[in-house]
Structure 1
Amino acid sequence: MGQYVTTNKGRTFYIHETPGEQGTIIGSHGLTGNHKQLHYYQEAFSGTYRFISYDILGRGNSEAAAEDSSIYTHADHLLDLIATLEIERPILLGYSMGAYISAIAASRLANTESLILLDGAGLADESTRQLVLPSLERLKKTYSNPDQYIEEAKKLYTRLNINWDQQMEEAVRYEIAKDERFWRNKSNLQTITRDFESFYTFQSANVLAHIACPVFLLISTGSIGDKGPLFQEEGYAQMKKQLSRLQTEVSQVNHYELVFNKQPKIFSQIQTFLSHKEVKS
């Protein structure tokens, strides 16, 4: 079920919630994504876990992000949302940028039940920048109708080994809206670029030192085109060294396949990770 939530601090988020009894997972999506990016994870765990996905500020149907937005302000917003929804022991799941946000939130929230990081919160290097920044140019573009945007997105994603189906088309259509004359992506290029650059301010050692809960890390090693993975496996060395309660899994799918194609093996790995302890709602 989708709904708008205004938080205790006055921020308005769009969230999508599905029921479950074994605890609450709250999922944070990637840099240019929205709650639909986590559809397959929500589908996999719904019925067992209460699962809440949401549009990070500046994305989807949530309100615009502030001019000083970063992974740190988004972590503050996540904590505000958790407090507003009165989630006592959240399981934080983050993909890509959402992993940075979830890790920072977990470091500030003493009662985090567990933390699930899907290819994020490691070291972003120059190859990460070279992969991401050119892809953001599409946020500048305008379209005379939504089908033009859909066709362009379909070509892009199929080149990335994404299975184009009805769910994928719905997710892409959700990204766009019409202004007075044209259709365009709902996200603002300046906001997205600023948030991306904040990856490079991530104080890994300081954040990890304050995470006490069990952590599941999924590293995606698949190449994006011929440019290699988005995050290098060695970029997670600090995390492996510092976190004693860490389960690490490696997948050969690429960063985008990780969420846009169903990943039953990964779902099973996460389920096993979560089932090793009692989880309270």
Structure 2
Amino acid sequence: MKRNLAMTLSTILLASAGAVTQASAQDAPPQNAPVHNIVLVHGAWVDGSGWKPVYDRLTKDGYHVTIVQEPLGSLEDDVAATKRVLDQQNGPTILVAHSYGGSVITEAGVHPNVVGLVYVAAHAPAVGEDESTLGKGMPSYTSKQPGAIMKTGDGYTYLNPADFPSDFAADLPLKEAQFESHAQILTAAKVFSTPMTVAAWTSKPSWGIVAADDKIINPDLERWYYARAHSHTTVLAGASHSVYESRPKEVTAVIEDAAKHAS
């Protein structure tokens, strides 16, 4: 009797284990399935609302998209804000950035949830480098323009509203660019000169978009960054620094390519 009971319990346990294994195999996503999570990081002087045209396209295509709102007071705080959002993702994630946000994702991209990086007209310094020093080697149109970059008495910067439409957003409707010029997030000057302590692009695949008519970052510097990182690079002719707003279709296509091919 005891022997029969033991055999019955053993059979039940084996069957249950088999059912759990089968269920787990059925629930597990295919190894080559596209990444579902996208995190978007904005740059200096603006906030995350500029990503809305890209957000709308990505969510329409079924992606789970989250936008980081950085405080722009220090690189450390902006990286921490990005990592908090990455902690909330439920699996592999593509981390995307515009402009100064490229420095942020270069640091934050070492997060274990990140499987690929997308740089959209963005900086991508190496360990020990900072974007300010690199920008002096390949200066942008704006950096050579007297009075374009303003600074407050307590060390925060912003773009002269008179120059913002032509320098930052030349391919946006003028009224939209003017509104953005008066809705800037003042950004601590020190964020641009803080050196990288890690560089996620050295260990994770990356994609880069060059805005060919960028006046805020020299397009040649963008090309150099992406060539060094062996990024899959797309050049968008005629695109301003606001490429993520003015050319959302093309930017979305690059992000979705990263989601499909990052491993």
Question: Does 2:248 correspond to 1:274?
Answer: no
CA distance in 2, matches of 1:238, 1:156: 25
The 1:266–1:86 alpha-carbon spacing in structure 2 relative to 1, beyond 3 Å, is closer
**TM-score, reference length from structure 1:** 0.61
Q: Check the 8 A contact 1:37/1:171 in 2, yes or no.
A: no
Question: Does 2:177 correspond to 1:192?
Answer: no
- What residue is the counterpart of 1:162 in the other structure? 171
- What residue is the counterpart of 1:219 in the other structure? 210
Secondary structure of 2:199's counterpart equals helix
CA distance in 2, matches of 1:40, 1:51: 12
Q: Which has the higher contact order (CA 8 A, sep 6+)?
A: 2
1:162 maps to a residue whose letter is D
Q: For residue 38 of structure 1, report the CA deviation from its aligned partner.
A: 1.3
Q: Check the 8 A contact 2:94/2:258 in 1, yes or no.
A: no
1:240 to 217, 221, 227: 227
Secondary structure of 1:119's counterpart equals strand
Structure 2 runs not aligned, ≥5 long: 1-33, 125-130, 154-159
CA distance in 1, matches of 2:214, 2:114: 33
CA distance in 2, matches of 1:74, 1:168: 25
CA distance in 1, matches of 2:152, 2:57: 30
1:34 to 25, 37, 47: 47
Question: Does 2:79 correspond to 1:79?
Answer: no
Secondary structure of 1:30's counterpart equals coil
CA distance in 1, matches of 2:196, 2:145: 17
RMSD of equivalent CA atoms:
3.5
Question: Does 2:62 correspond to 1:54?
Answer: no
Instruction: Write out aligned runs for 1:164-183 (5 A).
Output: 164=173, 175=183
CA distance in 1, matches of 2:162, 2:112: 42
CA distance in 1, matches of 2:177, 2:161: 10
- Which range moved further: 129-138 or 39-48? 129-138
- What residue is the counterpart of 2:10 in the other structure? none
Query: Identity, % of aligned pairs?
Result: 9
Q: Check the 8 A contact 2:35/2:93 in 1, yes or no.
A: no
2:115 to 105, 113, 116: 113
Rg larger in structure: 2
- What residue is the counterpart of 1:251 in the other structure? 236
- Which range moved further: 262-271 or 162-171? 162-171
- What residue is the counterpart of 1:181 in the other structure? none
CA distance in 2, matches of 1:255, 1:162: 6
The 1:51–1:165 alpha-carbon spacing in structure 2 relative to 1, beyond 3 Å, is farther
- What residue is the counterpart of 2:24 in the other structure? none
Figure out how many residues of one structure are paired with residues of the other and give that number. 211
**TM-score, reference length from structure 2:** 0.65
